[in-house]
Amino acid sequence: MHGAALAEHPSGRSCGRSGEHAGGRDRGGRLVAQRVTQAVAAHGDPASSRAFLYGGLSTLIPVDEESRRIVLAYQAHYLLTLTRPEPAPEGLTYADALRDFVAEQIRQAREEGGATVEDPRTAAAILLAVITGLQMSVLAGQYDGETAVGLLTAHLDSLFALAGPHASRPSRRGSRARQGRPRAR
Percent of the chain with pLDDT over 90: 38
In a domain, 140, yes or no: yes
Of 164 and 45, the one with more pLDDT: 45
Q: Is 125 exposed, middle or buried (0-12, 13-18, 19+ CB in 10 A)?
A: middle
In a domain, 100, yes or no: yes
Model confidence band, residue 88 (pLDDT cutoffs 50, 70, 90): low
Whole-number average pLDDT of the chain: 74
At 32, which helix (H) or strand (E)? Answer: helix 27-42
End-to-end Cα, the chain, rounded Å: 43
Asked whether the beta carbons of 170 and 149 are under 8 A apart, the reply is: yes
β-partners of residue 14 are: 8
In a domain, 133, yes or no: yes
In a domain, 12, yes or no: no
Residue 86: its pLDDT value, please? 76
In a domain, 135, yes or no: yes
Model confidence band, residue 22 (pLDDT cutoffs 50, 70, 90): very low
Number of structural domains the chain divides into? 1
The yes-or-no verdict on residue 14 having pLDDT over 50 is no
Residue 30: its pLDDT value, please? 64
Q: Is 118 exposed, middle or buried (0-12, 13-18, 19+ CB in 10 A)?
A: exposed
In a domain, 7, yes or no: no
Residue 122: its pLDDT value, please? 97
The domain of 144 spans 27-179
Q: 38-50, pLDDT tens digit by residue?
A: 766 776 666 788 8
In a domain, 16, yes or no: no
Q: 110-163, pLDDT tens digit by residue?
A: 998 889 899 999 999 999 999 999 999 999 999 999 999 999 999 999 998 654
In a domain, 67, yes or no: yes
User: What's the CATH number where 34 sits?
Assistant: 1.10.357.10
Cα Rg of the chain (Å, integer): 16
